Amino acid sequence: MEVILSKNAGFCYGVKRAVDMAVSVQEKYNKKIYTLGPLIHNNDVVSYLKTLNIFSIEIEDIESLKKNDIVIIRSHGIPLEIFNKLKQKEVITIDATCTYVSNIQQKVKKYYDSGYSILIVGDKNHPEVIGINGWCNNSAIITNDSDELQHLPRKICVVSQTTEKQSRWENVLEKVVKFSKEIVAFNTICSATGVRQKSAYDLSEDVDCMIVIGGKNSSNTTKLYEICTKNCRNTIHIENFKEIPLELLNNKNIKKIGVTAGASTPDWVINETINKLSNR
């Protein structure tokens, strides 16, 4: 069996930065550290961080934090009001918001303060989008389905969730051009997502089976899965090598397997999967 790893797969810049920051903050302070929500959408990494005394808490838990507790903001970022709350509580806040996401937050704040309505092309339940919306007083119109847009304000600033699909961004913009008169649009889809999606798309055209590795709760991994399924019906989504189905390992008709991984999947999880497949 030939196993081919997609050209671009695994940790992106922002996720790697957040994990590296968490590890170095622990080295510096050597005490219990909290992250607001799981640092990244990957259970294996979250379990690893627990061994380093780094634990995930929820927004509601901020109330019980004490002065000089340490909280890490994950790469998805948080709403402005949560930053302010942490400041009031006098906790040590380590901001690991991906710099690309901070850039969107700043743009949204700037244009909201100048009188623009904000439209975020993305999933309203995704933490990154919830965070961005918190920089325009939670007033944004949020959708990634152009059919949902029937009216729009005259003056509008459009940004995108970093992991959004280019095609959805284009469809929404077509609608915006019809309804709004004064438009500022920033295509803030992260290139890390685009290159992973393109490589996965190309590879999935050429293999008998495609394995997408990453958290089941990771939106960019789920999108890779959707993209690969279009070319290769025999696509599976696993979190780690333990989930590789036995039937796949025993299927002699599968000669070529493609492997890709979401931006929140660490190298060690990818390597374990490749080793398991190669050892078949």
Site for ligand SF4, rule CB under 6 A: 12-15, 75, 98, 100-101, 162, 190, 192-193, 263
Nearer to ligand SF4, 18 or 158 (CB): 18
By beta-carbon distance, which residue lies closest to ligand SF4? Answer: 14
The residue with tokens 């634990």 is 55
Nearer to ligand SF4, 258 or 262 (CB): 262
CA atoms within 13 A on the CB side of 4: 19
- What distances in angstroms separate CA 70 from CA 29, 57, 131, 234, one per listed residue? 9, 12, 20, 45
DSSP reduced 3-state for 163: coil
Minimum CB separation of residue 267 from ligand SF4 in Å reads 15
How far apart, in whole angstroms, are the C-alpha atoms of residue 72 and residue 76? 11
Minimum CB separation of residue 265 from ligand SF4 in Å reads 12
Minimum CB separation of residue 177 from ligand SF4 in Å reads 26
What are φ and ψ of residue 185, in 5° steps?
Answer: -130, 130
Task: Give the residues across from 147 on adjacent strands.
Answer: none
How far apart, in whole angstroms, are the C-alpha atoms of residue 171 and residue 57? 37
How far apart, in whole angstroms, are the C-alpha atoms of residue 218 and residue 235? 17
How far apart, in whole angstroms, are the C-alpha atoms of residue 171 and residue 158? 13
Distance between first and last Cα of the chain: 8
Dihedral, 190, 192, 195, 196 alpha carbons, nearest 10? -120
In the chain, DSSP finds a helix count (H) and a strand count (E) of 10, 12
List Cβ neighbours of 134 (8 Å cut-off, separation of 6 or more).
78, 79, 80, 81, 82
What are φ and ψ of residue 36, in 5° steps?
Answer: -85, 95
Nearer to ligand SF4, 219 or 235 (CB): 219
Catalytically active residues, by annotation: 128
